[in-house]
Structure formats: structure tokens, C-alpha cells
Structure 1
Amino acid sequence: MFSDVLDRPVRFEPVSRGAWQKELLDLAASSRAGLLNTDMSRHIAACGYAVAEGIERGNTKYTDTDAFRRITGRTPITLHDYLTEHATVFR
């Protein structure tokens, strides 16, 4: 799905929660961190882990589009649509 949008191969490599959190923490401590900080790194890792755990238990619905719309004032879009709209950034 992503390869067709980005015009390049995209592959999935599984990573443990600890390894992903360490990667995010290392990024937060680097000059490339941008807005990413230590607390945000831990939060992102925890959210990703929670979603992955839920999927393993068969829960695939993690969206409350009405809540998202209320909170942000925006209509949620799929990752595929987001990548399509911003493909030039990822190429």
C-alpha cells in the first residue's frame, strides 16, 4: 500500500517495545529531535505498544472519528490518504 504511494519499496521490520522506545529516546536526545522530547518519546512508544497489544488480542478499531473531529476540528483521514497528500515530503 505505501510502496505504490511513495514509488519505492517499503518494508516492515518488527521491533520490540524496548528497542523502539530506545530509538525514540536516542532521537529525542539528538540534534535531529525537532519537537520530540523524552516524555513524548515514552508516550509514543507506550501508545504504539498498546495498539499492537490490542491488535494481537483481535481489537482492530482504534478510531473515534467523532471525538477526533470534536477535539481537533478536523476530519480524520487514513494513513494512505495522508501519505498520498504529503508524498513529496516522504520521497
Structure 2
Amino acid sequence: MEPILQCKNLTKVFPGKVALSGVNLEIGRGRIVGLLGPNGSGKSTLIKMCNGLLTPTNGELFIDGNTPGIETKRIVSYLPERTYLNDWMTVRNLVDFFDDF
């Protein structure tokens, strides 16, 4: 059975900061997994890449055999601790922003 999450040499680099470096990970179906680590260790970066908010610098990421996108949004959710919406956004801006969900 194909894993629900698969990372192959996954890397994410921001200007001046390597957030993830060569992560190899497989999570099987029906598992509950917690990501533990100090602030800045890449937990949120990995989750944001899983739901398509960020793209990898290098490597591959598969959710249920698919790269993150419209198809995988049915099975991946993300609720940030803080809002990432801008105060200037109108309701129309928000509807457009979340349209593909």
C-alpha cells in the first residue's frame, strides 16, 4: 500500500536560512503523527509544503501519490496558530484567495 505522505530528499531554503535539508520520510496510512522540535526546526515549513502553501527548493513530496495541489487539498488541512491574511484584504480578495479550496 502506498504511503499517505512521502518525502524524498526534501529541501527548503529561504534567503539566509535552510529550513529543511534532505528530508526522507514515509508515513503510512492510518497513522497519527506528531512533529516535535524547537522553534525554527522546519515543522511548519514541512506542513506548509504538504498543503501547497510553499514549494520545495529541491526534492519530491507526495500526498497519496500526488504532488501537492488541488487533488490533495481534499485530504490535507492546515490551521495556523496566527492568521496569515492581510488586514487590507476585502471579502472578495479572500474568496479569490481560497477559491481553489
TM-score range relative to shorter protein? under 0.3
- Answer with 1 or 2: which has the greater Rg: 1
Greater fraction of residues in helix: 1
TM-score after normalising by structure 2: 0.23
TM-score after normalising by structure 1: 0.24
